[in-house]
Structure 1
Amino acid sequence: MRILHVLDHSIPLHSGYTFRTRAILRQQQLLGWETFQLTGPKQGPSSGDCEQVDGLAFYRSGPARGLKARLPVLRQVAIIDALEERLLRLARELQPDILHAHSPALNALAALRVGKRLGIPVVYEIRAFWEDAAVDHGTSSAGGLRYRATRALETYALRQVDAATTICEGLRDDIAARGIAANKVTVIPNAVDIEDFTVGCARDEALAAQLGLCGKRVLGFIGSFYGYEGLHVLLEAMPAMLRLAPDLRLLLVGGGAQEQALRAQAAALGIAEQVIFTGRVPHSEVQRYYDLVDILVYPRIKMRLTDLVTPLKPLEAMAQGRLLVASDVGGHRELIEDGRTGILFTAGDAGALAAQVLALLATPERWPALRAAGRRFVEDERNWGASVARYRAVYGNARKGGAQ
């Protein structure tokens, strides 16, 4: 089977989106399928029409051009047009059996145009509702014109494609509420490559010394600093935790739109010396930072995006046998069983976060069972082999003309 994936962006950019893509492609190739992958204009500058990254070949679209690309309202149309043109040429050359478009809807619309012209079935994968992410980023308002237009495009694409997938039950329920047939949408959950994660790696004492963490108990967050991640809640909880656990330190690895605000908040709270910002680190170095952390904290705030979407980071933590404390948003509750595979606290409540972290630190006898249960969960239910195998039925239904 030959699958041509249509993507918003890919590695070498780092995000949950690009890491999920990489895992899917590798697993599909292990199944004996031929995969080809094209990114849209939003990928940004690249070294050419086709770029080799981490053993995978990504075709690039180049930027959207012309007057429409310079006008805010028409820019999205220009992106679809540019992607359609590149995809049409590529599909004619590669002759895939399936066009597999991934969020956002712009990719699905371009794939639908090409699929219709060439008679190729289209599968659309919703990884998040981008209108909700735009609200968090401040580029759209909930229920506003842009929000409603984006949502309408998603719904239109879902109605037109031959089959659809999504990453979790929360998103599937929302899709079904739009009147999309339940048998048209398959959940392909986020997962991990168990072989990529080792339990019980030794602490890098040289790195600990460099960061001032020798002899300290460490809370950590490793990822992108988006507003919805709720890192401001974690900082707000730190003074209360430090009063009872003065040896505690917070390690924040990564960067993003909220970094400067978080640095300013730490200074205003008088905890700048107890919070270590590393900036972004190379992917090959991330494990060294994980190995310094005693408890990983995921304090996502409650909103549509976090209630509907399951993140990858808690799964990666469980795969390493890590202790984790997370807010009780819907996306976390779908992954974490409170008290068995991790600890949940009331989203947005800094006091509740502090109480749960301190309680966990005070009961080390609980740690082995929590670590083992988390590891078993990803081994048994959230491995990429089992997850990606679900595409076989999806592609089969699409080639037969979609769900009836």
Structure 2
Amino acid sequence: MLILVENLPSPFDRRVWQEATTLVAHGYQVSIICPTGKGYELPYELIDSIHIYRYNLPNEGEGALGYLLEYSAALWHTFRLAYKVRRERGFDVIQACNPPDLLFLVGGFFKRFYGSRFVFDHHDINPELYEAKFGRRDLLWKLMVWLERQTFRTADVSIATNESYRQIALERGGMRADRVFVVRSGPKLDRLKIQPPKPELKRGRRFLVGYVGVMGKQEGIDYLLRAARHIVHELKRDDVHFGLVGGGTSLEEMQQLAGQLGLADHVTFTGRVPDAELLDMLNTADVCVNPDVANDMNDKSTMNKIMEYMALGKPIVQFDLAEGRFSAQEASLYAARNDAVDMAHKIVALLDDPERRLHMGQFGRNRVEHELEWRYEVPKLLRAYETLWT
């Protein structure tokens, strides 16, 4: 098996790493091609019997030219390293994890000329992602739709992260129903351990509101900061601190916005940190938030952070999105879509109701333990691969 990833290094990308280690545990030989990243700079590593080949990318794309440079470099290095893997150990299957929807060019090439099978692991709906970032449906949006269609046409099997993505594979991608498998990004509880809180992370305040995720435009960090401003300045709650874990292209911009909103002393931005520090923040949080903007992309997407919060027994506040509601159910309160003030009031309502927080946290943890943990997805993943040979 050869797994292609462009947007995150391995083993940092949790979904990809869980898939890879699962395949190894069931007798597959696995190689991964991915970019380098902070803490993952080596061009080659062997970790848990998985061969990882990494390449350097230009800075993450901003605007059409930035993305063109990034994706062109990624394609060149992916082709180059795929040949290297083929020479050194060979592969029968290429699995492409998007974004971008360009990796079918690599999978299709080796499928046509070397007989490899091609699996599309559908992580993001790129036409909706483009619209969320740039707010328009122009020629480049139409190109995204075309590239997505070509990816599905090339794939022997597609893996969807939820039912919304499965419908896209069937309707927009034209795939056969028996070739599309839903494999959710369930957390592994041996990684997400409930531990004692670290009170110092509250910076002397009574409550901590936690967030973990990417700092990008469609993640709605600006909504969260405006909710925080309402809590601190309008509701006069000086007893709440906010801990935001994660990096991304909007991190510096969001730090500046926090200052402009008078929140510099009430918000901690950690940037990207090791898992241990991430877990410290989440285990200390009294309430966790998902401020993802209500749009077509986020409405149809399953966010890893939601299930990580649930695995740690944390009550959640998020905007009312279809897949977010499916995942969290009673573990979350749902604010009106893109309404920072309503999100603020939902957060405060939970902070002031410890019994409700406890009930919601227990519900979420129980749902992960008995329905959503990764072990329930393993048979589905293996069935998808078995289908390649039928």
TM-score range (shorter-chain normalised) is 0.7 to 0.9
8 Å Cα contact 1:8-1:42 kept in structure 2: no
SS in 1 for 2:137: coil
User: Of 8, 11, 14, which aligns to 2:9?
Assistant: 11
Q: Which residue of 2 is the match for residue 336 of structure 1?
A: 328
Question: Is residue 184 of structure 2 the alignment partner of residue 223 of structure 1?
Answer: no
Tell me the equivalent position of 1:355. Answer: 345
- The 2-side partners of 1:326 and 1:307 are apart by 12
* 1:42-100: CA deviation from partner (whole Å, max 9, x where unpaired): 99x9533x234577421246779xxxxx9986985675455334324423543333222
Which of these residues, 33, 40, 53, is aligned with residue 38 of structure 1? 33
Matching of residue 277 in structure 1 with residue 269 in structure 2? yes
Q: Distance in 2 between matches of 1:42 and 1:151?
A: 29
Q: 1:392 to 1:216 in 2, by over 3 A?
A: same
C-alpha deviation, 1:219, in angstroms = 0.9
Q: Percent same amino acid among aligned pairs?
A: 23
Give, in whole Å, the separation in 1 of the partners of 2:26 and 2:362: 29
Question: Hey, what's the Cα distance between the residues in 2 that align with 1:218 and 1:202?
Answer: 14
Aligned residues: 380
> 1:198 aligned to 193, 200, 204, which one?
193
The equivalent residue for 1:101 is 96
* 2:302 corresponds to which of 290, 295, 310: 310
- Post-superposition Cα deviations, 1:217-244, rounded to whole Å, max 9, x if no partner, equal 1112122211111111122122332325
Q: Which amino acid aligns with 1:58?
A: I
Of 155-164 and 362-371, the range deviating more from structure 2: 362-371
Instruction: Identify the match of residue 158 of structure 1 among 152, 168, 191.
Output: 152
- Does structure 2 conserve the Cα–Cα contact (< 8 Å) formed by 1:6 and 1:111? no
Query: Which moved further from structure 2: 172-181 or 308-317?
Result: 172-181
CA contact (8 A) 1:300 1:347 kept: no
CA displacement, residues 209-268 of structure 1 (integer Å, 9 cap, x when unaligned): xx5623421112122211111111122122332325331122222332223332333233
Work out whether residues 328 and 346 of structure 1, in 8 Å CA contact, stay in contact via their aligned partners in 2: yes
Question: Could you tell me how far 1:113 is from its partner in structure 2?
Answer: 0.8
Counterpart Cα distance in 2 of 1:114 and 1:161: 12
Cα drift, residue 341 of structure 1: 1.7
**Which of 335, 342, 362 matches 1:345?**
335
Q: Alpha carbons of 1:77 and 1:190: their partners in 2 closer, same or farther (altered >3 Å)?
A: same
2-structure distance, mates of 1:282, 1:60? 19
- TM-score between both structures, scaled by the size of structure 1: 0.84
Query: What is aligned with 1:25?
Result: 20
Structure 1 pair 275/148, CA: closer, same or farther in 2 (3 Å)?
Answer: same
Q: Deviations over 1:106-154 (max 9, x none)?
A: 222211111221112211111102343344444xx63222221122111
Deviates more, 1:292-301 or 1:357-366: 357-366
Over 3 Å counting, the alpha-carbon distance change for 1:74 and 1:399 in structure 2 is: farther
Change (3 A) 1:262 1:102: closer
In structure 1, the residue corresponding to 2:331 is in which secondary structure?
A: coil
The code of the aligned residue for 2:180 comes to V
When structure 1 is superposed on structure 2, of 241-250 and 217-226 the one drifting more is 241-250
Show the counterpart of 1:67.
none
Whole-Å separation in 1 of the counterparts to 2:55 and 2:242: 41
1:2-401 alignment runs, 5 A limit: 3-11=1-9, 14=12, 18-39=13-34, 46-48=41-43, 50-52=44-46, 56-60=50-54, 76=71, 79-80=74-75, 82-103=77-98, 104-138=100-134, 142-178=136-172, 179-199=174-194, 201-205=195-199, 208=200, 213-242=203-232, 243=235, 245-337=237-329, 340-400=330-390
Distance 2:298 2:190 in 1: 28
Query: Which segment drifts farther, 384-393 or 311-320?
Result: 384-393
TM-score normalized with structure 2 length = 0.87
- Structure 2 residue runs of 5 or longer lacking an equivalent are 59-64
- Residues 285 and 365 of structure 1: CA distance in aligned 2, closer, same or farther (over 3 Å): closer
- Report the CA distance shift for 1:251/1:113 in structure 2 as closer, same or farther (over 3 A): same
After superposition, the CA RMSD in angstroms is: 2.9
Answer whether contact 2:125 2:297 (CA < 8 A) is retained.
yes
TM-superposed CA distance for 1:347, in Å, is 2.1
Kindly tell me: are residues 301 and 378 of structure 1, through their superposed partners in 2, closer, same or farther at Cα, counting changes over 3 Å? same
What is the alpha-carbon distance in structure 2 between the residues aligned to residue 320 and residue 231 of structure 1?
22
Judging changes above 3 Å, is the alpha-carbon distance between structure 1 residues 228 and 10 closer, same or farther for their aligned structure 2 residues? closer
Distance change in 2, residues 1:41/1:79 (3 Å): farther
Compared CA separation, residues 7 and 368, structure 1 to 2 (3 A): same
Distance 1:74 1:316 in 2: 33
